[in-house]
Structure 1
């Protein structure tokens, strides 16, 4: 079968809200067209699904909320169950040439996802929508092929459907399932991979002097159709769904900043005190810098460092006293010494963000872990030299895998290797009040945040006392 495409490979992006699988309205062509373009960008351009989806929905302002929700469900659902869906189709299709055209692939997988997991989408409608879209993207022959495959899949689904959890777990790469099981056990691995809601709500981080209950009420008044509630892990977090562009809400940039709840929890675990000098060593655009600067107050100071100077311009406006462009893997640049506390939110696999970025599971490889863990050790050791003697450092990653968590702590706690800075790092209990609120055991020096336990993205954080 030769696939001849005449489709428009337009730009796509999405965002929207999504409920539990099986609770979506009947499919519409508009929602499926949006989802197909987003999936094509993820596969062809290595785009992030969330960013692509948000941009597309922003461009198509006339798309109603129901269609936006369905487009979001289809994008995230297909990416989370992609391997399972393709295996099911492969058992029904003689050829796999259909996978060579992104539009055909997207509509076929969306049809399969609807048949298997969306209870309220009638089978005839799911098949019809997919087949019509595939005919438009390719030709009648490919449409007939898709019709035969999806009808056979519909017959199978009528006899019994898989659970979404099983399909999501089966779609995770084998190496990732194994790494998760080593880190958090078999049951924990399944719970982590299937954790919802998907996509998760947006997080707001309140400045320490602000009253969370009052701000929840004020934001609800400004956006009465949204879902707005207090977070669970961070005492500064407010979780938001359906409020549109957060920048249009009252208090943005002054009383609060957009920040995922797990990320702000990591910043709080540094335990910054009023009057202290703090370094945000891998600051990015400075969201954690913003929170830390408000913790230390006018009597303290927070500096920001990052390998990307363009991001540091944003960090300066977020409250950094000074910024430093530095590649920690090669040294310390011109970053000064003597900080009371240093936060190292190191580059990592990003596995902890799978709810938000399901495409990560399809892009990472097992050999990435060794390279990333070595990089994390190097970055943390160099950044630790910037503390005063007896100062504290928190090492953090948005991963839950042992190779990037406890294994890195063990290496940092040991004797520095050849060429590494001669700094002694000793694990020490968290001294932030938020550690107790999180239920971290007394005396614990490390914690793993999990979406199915804490409601956050997956993170690991460990605290050290530093001696030179």
Structure 2
């Protein structure tokens, strides 16, 4: 009999490969259709989806070596999913007997009416099982590193160093916990106690990087919990640190230049208080509409649909005297590999180069909205030098002809110890160090004339 967990995981993997769906969204949708599922089965489905996507390259290479032609040639995404899930279980899951993994994969493929592929899968998976029994299990860290595209491994090594790059690629937990951001007016410890009481099946813990963060596991849909949208919002812990890094103070005027749906806007409005003002801008007007309808809409004073790179849309309408501007720029997203492992296979070195040019253009034009002597913070959900230090160096050395000069400046925010060194003008957040998504944050002083 084929387990429900494997059926769900196979459907998700097939969608990721054939339609370029995001694994997290596809998995949530599948699990949502099986609301009464045993939590252990849901956990196994999650482990199989993320595990296969993280180690796919290593698994394919290993299985290919066991085929007559040296190539893993499977006729459908579903067949590929069942074979790779079995291989992942054989290589990395102590709790799943190898024979059970093989039998379920073969049975699932044969149930699709493909006897030939079932026999092929049976042969190579049994070879793999025998090899693992004889030589022992491989390293998950090495498999995750080897599965990343060569350009990404190289870039991470140049950016972080070899050992840190491997730790980054294999960092857990996978997927990471959900983050909640608690309002300044609320007591985080009290909310943890309350949420534990109303949702005893979930786990609620303080975050280690953000003083506002609550980390949640196993609580289901948190939107049904008390306090959502008023006392707290859903926000990844590293994203909270990015917003806090702007150093917004009570009474200041602030612009969230790439606001998206407004989670950072909400936090910034909380920081400046009713005496201050936060405006939000974004390329997409529909995102700003959703921002205005959500919790951030109560804190955002004005919104502007702006293409910062092209200086179009409402560009000329945006005021030029903000105390601080946050630019959380579009990027490769490799900082989210724990929750979106498929990104590694969808991005290229050319994408990173194109995005770094876009980041430079956005920052230069957004900087024209900062008053003389004001501050700008640039952030990306990436740790690659091409989107980090190299962008910063170009911003401070090249004359953009905007009448504005950018100088590196220390991060003014009072962040938790160990995140940013004293007087540092930039910092990284790393999943294997702080437990957050990966980010780069750089601070600038803006001078006019």
What band does the TM-score fall into relative to the shorter chain?
Answer: over 0.9
Partner of 1:209: 185
What is the SS of the residue equivalent to 1:454?
Answer: coil
1:252-285: per-residue Cα shift (whole Å, max 9, x none)? 0000000000001000010111111110000000
- Structure 1 length normalisation: TM-score? 0.92
Q: CA distance change for structure 1 residues 438 and 275 in 2, over 3 Å: closer, same or farther?
A: farther
1:6-405 matches, within 5 Å, as 29-94=3-68, 96=71, 98-159=73-134, 160-316=136-292, 317=294, 318=296, 319-331=299-311, 332-405=315-388
Alpha-carbon distance, 1:441 to partner? 1.4
Q: CA RMSD in A?
A: 1.3
Contact between 1:231 and 1:237, CA under 8 Å: does it hold in 2? yes
Give the conservation status (yes or no) of the 8 Å contact 2:110–2:117: yes
C-alpha offsets along residues 421-458 of structure 1, whole Å, 9 cap, x if unaligned? 23100111111112x53442111010000011111000
Does the 8 A contact of 2:419 with 2:427 survive in 1? no
Q: 1: CA distance between counterparts of 2:8 and 2:335?
A: 27
Off by >2 Å, runs of 4+ in structure 1: 94-100, 436-439
Distance in structure 2 (CA, Å) of the matches to 1:170 and 1:466: 42
Q: How far does residue 64 in structure 1 lie from its aligned partner after superposition?
A: 1.4
2:433 is paired with a residue whose SS is helix
Cα distance between partner residues in 1 of 2:155 and 2:369: 33
In 2, distance between residues paired with 1:138 and 1:269? 56
> Distance in 1 between the 2:200 and 2:411 partners?
39
Q: Distance in 2 between matches of 1:136 and 1:98?
A: 19
- How far the C-alpha of 1:59 sits from its partner, in A, is 1.3
Structure-2-length-normalised TM-score: 0.96
Matching residue of 2:406: 425
Gaps of 5+ in 1: 1-26
Question: Does 2:407 align with 1:456?
Answer: no
Cα distance in 1 between the residues matched to 2:361 and 2:432: 31
| SS, match of residue 325 in structure 1 | strand
Taking the aligned partners of 2:76 and 2:260, their CA distance within structure 1 comes to 36
Q: Distance in 2 between matches of 1:422 and 1:354?
A: 38
The whole-number CA distance in structure 2 between the counterparts of 1:195 and 1:83 is: 17
- Contact 1:346–1:379 (Cα < 8 Å) also in 2: yes
Inter-partner Cα distance in structure 2 for 1:45 and 1:334: 40
For 1:8, the equivalent position in structure 2 comes to none
Distance in 2 (CA, whole Å) between partners of 1:245 and 1:33 is: 22
- Offset at 1:99? 3.2
SS in 1 for 2:348: coil
Q: C-alpha deviations, 1:313-355, integer Å up to 9, x for none?
A: 1222312111110111101342221111000000000011101
| SS at 1:437 equivalent | coil
Q: Distance in 2 between matches of 1:33 and 1:416?
A: 56
Q: Does the 8 A contact of 1:390 with 1:467 survive in 2?
A: yes
Say if 2:419 and 2:429, in contact at 8 Å, map to a contact too.
no
User: Matches of 1:72 and 1:460 in 2, distance apart?
Assistant: 28
Residue 119 of structure 1: CA displacement?
1.1
Please give the alpha-carbon distance, in whole angstroms, between the structure 1 residues aligned to 2:111 and 2:403: 64
More deviation, 436-445/192-201: 436-445
How far residue 213 of structure 1 moved from its aligned partner, in angstroms, is 1.0
SS at match of 1:326: strand
Q: Deviations over 1:152-195 (max 9, x none)?
A: 11101101210111110110111111111111101110111111
What is the CA deviation profile of residues 93-112 of structure 1, one whole-angstrom value per residue up to 9, with x for unaligned ones? 23547434101100010111
Deviation at 1:126, TM superposition (A): 0.5
- Contact 2:408–2:445 (CA under 8 A) maintained in structure 1: yes
SS in 2 for 1:74: helix
1:196 aligned counterpart, secondary structure: coil
Q: Partner residue of 1:18?
A: none
Distance 1:389 1:254 in 2: 35
1:123-160 Cα distance to aligned partner (Å, 9 max, x none) = 11000000001112241111111111111111011012
Aligned length: 439
Is the 8 Å Cα contact of residues 325 and 333 (structure 1) preserved in structure 2?
no
